[in-house]
Chains A and B, each alone.
Chain A
């Protein structure tokens, strides 16, 4: 079971790398979802090692929040694509314009 701790840490860090490194917004959201997967795995492992059921409930709340995040993120991407015809972070300079 202990190998799963390293897997969860690796998934979180890989998602972090992708979120910084990727250029289009959809890939960044995909990497955020990867991070959420790592967090959910870590919660379940903590629930197993401590014996508390609360950590498993946290996984349910994590899934709810990640569903909201993805839905709003994707709708923002679609709205941005309609307005600017791009999904790349280089082309978006709304604040500095």
Chain B
């Protein structure tokens, strides 16, 4: 129980840092720590494989990807004194409280049934047996989705470059003339 509370507090603190820190780099670091503490929670709940995947993919790849993009964009050139709209803050806080209230109501009403731990075969063998038999088609579709995402990323990020090159060539020919 003590470990539960400790991990919960750790996750909540880092999650609050993600949303409320002024610098985006600090937000990215806090997201990394949130994902790592979530991985610790997964480990504590007994889902060891998902914990490892969380560390490898979410914390190791995605959070680092954010930092790479921040390095590409050079955030320091943007002034940090944009006016904060009060209306937006009020609306977002209200939305958060409403959704949290609904969640809390549902969880409170079903907490007896939800807290029961059913012992299942938690091994990776059982997990992958299910993944490659019952969920084979969704799994293949996920691979196609990943491939489509790769192609989309390449197309989106290189399209502009070609236009620039064409413009540069036109400029060069004009200079020669």
* Contact surface of A with B, Cβ cutoff 8 Å: 1-7, 9-18, 20-24, 26-27, 29-31, 33-34, 37, 40-41, 44-45, 47-54, 56-57, 59-61, 63-68, 70-72, 74-79, 81-83, 86-88, 90
* Contact surface of B with A, Cβ cutoff 8 Å: 4-5, 8, 11-12, 15-16, 18-19, 24, 27-28, 31, 34-35, 38, 41-42, 45-47, 50, 53-54, 57-58, 61-63, 65-66, 69-70, 72-73, 75, 78, 82, 88-89, 91-93, 95-97, 99-100, 103-104, 107, 111, 113-121, 126-127, 130-131, 134-135, 138, 142, 145-146, 148-150, 152-153, 156-157, 159-160
* Contact A7/B89 with A49-B116, A53-B121, A74-B69 known, Cβ cut-off 8 Å: no
Q: Which residues of B contact A7 (CB under 8 A)?
A: 8, 11-12, 41
Evaluate contact between A48 and B103: CB separation under 8 angstroms. Answer: no
Cβ contact of A17, chosen from B19, B27, B156, cutoff 8 A:
B19
- Secondary structure at the B interface, as helix, strand, loop or mixed, is helix
Q: Which residues of A contact B61 (CB under 8 A)?
A: 67
* Contact A9/B103 with A3-B8, A64-B146 known, Cβ cut-off 8 Å: yes
Q: Which residues of A contact B12 (CB under 8 A)?
A: 7, 10
Q: Considering the chains assembled together, what is the distance between the CA atoms of A18 and B60 in angstroms?
A: 23
Tell me the smallest distance from the CB of B93 to a CB of chain A, in Å.
7
Evaluate contact between B104 and A57: CB separation under 8 angstroms. Answer: no
How many inter-chain contacts with C-beta < 8 Å in the A-B complex?
A: 215
Q: Which residues of A contact B73 (CB under 8 A)?
A: 26, 77-78, 81, 87
Q: Which residues of A contact B96 (CB under 8 A)?
A: 13-14, 16-17
Known: A54-B130, A64-B146. 6 other contacts (CB 8 A): A2-B115, A24-B78, A26-B70, A30-B28, A74-B69, A87-B73
* Contact A44/B4 with A10-B100, A67-B146, A74-B66 known, Cβ cut-off 8 Å: no
Q: Considering the chains assembled together, what is the distance between the CA atoms of A24 and B75 in angstroms?
A: 10
Q: Considering the chains assembled together, what is the distance between the CA atoms of A60 and B143 in angstroms?
A: 12
- Secondary structure at the A interface, as helix, strand, loop or mixed, is helix
| Residue from B104, B114, B117 whose CB has the most chain A CB atoms within 10 Å | B114
* Contact A67/B157 with A11-B15, A37-B38, A56-B127 known, Cβ cut-off 8 Å: no
Tell me the smallest distance from the CB of B162 to a CB of chain A, in Å.
12
* Contact A60/B100 with A20-B88, A23-B82, A72-B149 known, Cβ cut-off 8 Å: no
